[in-house]
Structures are given as structure tokens and as C-alpha cells.
């Protein structure tokens, strides 16, 4: 399958720096070399292309993981280690209707939109217009803009939607939206929350106890990279120590 104008590729230099680029008539410069991106037309994922100075560039298929890592961001984004777990806990799959509040730069929105497919839908609330504009650009790159309904609204109490399959909250004071999330959800369906501090976890737990939510779970996920020398296998020297605490619960009609 030959690459064509408008396709996105992940370009990898010989020292494994990677760049997410769109194929169009434009020069692209790295610390190693440069090339005109239209020269990618007719190539295939997996091919090598040479820069003007003779450096190799590997042409890779950008995965949803790559899109998230390379996303244009003006907010803290949610990490793949957390997104993967959120997808499973919230039961995100083709055809699902997912509501998120605090869409930010659109990292999680992208993953949701990718997985719900053509039959599904993501409703993304974000009170900051400039964040949402970035999110829209990111979703457009992925070709998934049509799967997302963006709402530039600050929700104070209730969402406009009912009977959604899952709700995710990534805002400063998620506890004020827990009752509203309950209203929006289908019975027996899951809510997810991300907060950076332990104090916020306590506040969410207190609020969850007041509403008919059960199967409450609080977790944190740590990801450790290893150096890839087979003769000297060992973890990297440093790692991300914390992104946030994840909270999950399911709506019931009475407790």
C-alpha cells in the first residue's frame, strides 16, 4: 500500500529519534539530515528513505500510541500506561458512547475516538477554548474528528447527555461532577476519574460514598523502561514516578 499525500508517517532517524509528519511538499529538518516530505509519496511503511546528506530515515506506521506521545499539547496529557487501563475498565470498544469532561489537549480523546469506531461517539467537554482547539487539531491529524462531539462548556452540575456507556473526569474538582456523572451514565456502567493528588482521591471517595456507586477502585500504575542491550539488561536510570491516581466505580440505582 503506497503512501500518498496527506498520510501521516513516523520518521525514525538512525539514532532512534522519531517524528510524526504529514506527507506534503515541505522540507523537514532534523539534527541528522533533512528531506522533502513529498519524496515519501509512493514509499511503503517499513521502507527506508535517505536524506539529502545521505542519512537514513525509517518510515513507520504511526500507532495510536505514537499519536498520543507526539500529540501537540498545551496541558498535561494522560500517559499511555494509564490510558490502556482506562480503556479496559471503562469497557471502551466499537460502538460505545463515551463522555469525558476535561478533554485538555485530546490525548485520551484520541484513544477513545480510535477505539469506539465509526459507530461509536465521544462527547468531550472542555471549558478552555484554547485547549479544545488543540484537541481538535490533534483529532483531525488522526482523521477521527467526526467521531467526537466537542463542547466548550464549563459543566457546573449536570451533563446534557443521558444513558452514556462510560464517563471519564479529568478536572480539578471532579467530586462536584460525580452526581452529574451518575445522572449521565447507564445503570451498572463505569465512571473513571484521574487526579494527581492524594487529597483529591480522598475527596472523590467521600463523594462516591454518598452516591449509589459501587465496586470502587483506586490504583496507580508505574511503568519502567529497560535498556535494550541483551548483554547488559537493566532498567533505565530514571522513570516517571507519578502521573496520577485512577479511580473507578460503577453506577447502581440504589445502594
Determine how many CB atoms are found less than 10 A away from the CB of residue 30. Answer: 16
Measured CA to CA in angstroms, residue 67 lies from 36, 85, 120, 138 at distances of 21, 18, 20, 8
Is 107 annotated to bind a ligand? Reply is: yes
Is 165 annotated to bind a ligand? Reply is: no
Residue 168 burial (C-beta neighbours within 10 Å; 0-12, 13-18, 19+)? buried
Query: What residues have CB less than 8 Å from 237, skipping those under 6 apart?
Result: none
Pattern 31-70, binding to a copy of itself, x per CB under 8 A? -------------xxxxx---------xxxx-xxx--x--
Residue that has been written with the C-alpha cell 511503503 in this structure: 44
Count the residues of the shown chain that bind a copy of itself, applying the rule CB under 8 A: 87
Interface of this chain with a copy of itself, residues 201 to 220, rule: CB under 8 A? 201-203, 205-206, 209, 214-220
User: How far apart are CB 57 and a copy of itself at their closest, in Å?
Assistant: 11
Nearest to a copy of itself of 127, 186 (CB atom): 186
Is 133 annotated to bind a ligand? Reply is: no
Asked if 63 and 52 count as a contact pair (C-beta separation under 8 A), the reply is no
State yes or no: residue 232 binds a copy of itself (CB under 8 A): yes
Nearest to a copy of itself of 156, 233 (CB atom): 233
Nearest to a copy of itself of 27, 236 (CB atom): 236
Is 126 annotated to bind a ligand? Reply is: yes
Is 108 annotated to bind a ligand? Reply is: yes
Interface of this chain with a copy of itself, residues 151 to 190, rule: CB under 8 A? 186-190
State yes or no: residue 245 binds a copy of itself (CB under 8 A): yes
The pairs formed by 241-244 with CB atoms below 8 angstroms and a separation of 24 or more are: 242/196, 243/78, 243/79, 243/81, 243/82, 243/196, 244/78, 244/82, 244/194, 244/195, 244/196, 244/220
State yes or no: residue 15 binds a copy of itself (CB under 8 A): no
Widest distance between CA atoms in the chain? 68
Interface of this chain with a copy of itself, residues 66 to 105, rule: CB under 8 A? 68, 80-81, 83-91, 93-95
User: How far apart are CB 200 and a copy of itself at their closest, in Å?
Assistant: 8
Contact range with a copy of itself by CB under 8 A, out of 4-12, 26-34, 127-135, 148-156: 4-12
User: How far apart are CB 186 and a copy of itself at their closest, in Å?
Assistant: 7
b/e per residue 72-89 (b: at least 16 CB within 10 A): ebebebbbbebbeebbeb
Amino acid at each position: 500500500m503506497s503512501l500518498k499525500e496527506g498520510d501521516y508517517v513516523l520518521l525514525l532517524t538512525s539514532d532512534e529519534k522519531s517524528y510524526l509528519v504529514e506527507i506534503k511538499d515541505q522540507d523537514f529538518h532534523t539534527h541528522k539530515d533533512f528531506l522533502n516530505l513529498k519524496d515519501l509519496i509512493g514509499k511503503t511503511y517499513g521502507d527506508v528513505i535517505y536524506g539529502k546528506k545521505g542519512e537514513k530515515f525509517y518510515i513507520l506506521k504511526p500507532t495510536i500510541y505514537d499519536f498520543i506521545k507526539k500529540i501537540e499539547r498545551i496541558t498535561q496529557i494522560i500517559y499511555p500506561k494509564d490510558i490502556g487501563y482506562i480503556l479496559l475498565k471503562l469497557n471502551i470498544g466499537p460502538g460505545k458512547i463515551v463522555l469525558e469532561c476535561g478533554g485538555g489537549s485530546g490525548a485520551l480523546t484520541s484513544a477513545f475516538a480510535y477505539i469506539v469506531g465509526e459507530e461509536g461517539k465521544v462527547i468531550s467537554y472542555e471549558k478552555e477554548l484554547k485547549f479544545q482547539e488543540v484537541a481538535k487539531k490533534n483529532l483531525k491529524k488522526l482523521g477521527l474528528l467526526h467521531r467526537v462531539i466537542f463542547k466548550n462548556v464549563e459543566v457546573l452540575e449536570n451533563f446534557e447527555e443521558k444513558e452514556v456507556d462510560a464517563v471519564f473526569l479529568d478536572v480539578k474538582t471532579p467530586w462536584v461532577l460525580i452526581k452529574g456523572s451518575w445522572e449521565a451514565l447507564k445503570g451498572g456502567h463505569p465512571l473513571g476519574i484521574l487526579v494527581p493528588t492524594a487529597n483529591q482521591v480522598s475527596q472523590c471517595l467521600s463523594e462516591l460514598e454518598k452516591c449509589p456507586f459501587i465496586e470502587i477502585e483506586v490504583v496507580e500504575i508505574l511503568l519502567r523502561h529497560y535498556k535494550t542491550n541483551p548483554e547488559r539488561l537493566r532498567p533505565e536510570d530514571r522513570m516517571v514516578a507519578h502521573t496520577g491516581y485512577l479511580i473507578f466505580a460503577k453506577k447502581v440505582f440504589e445502594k
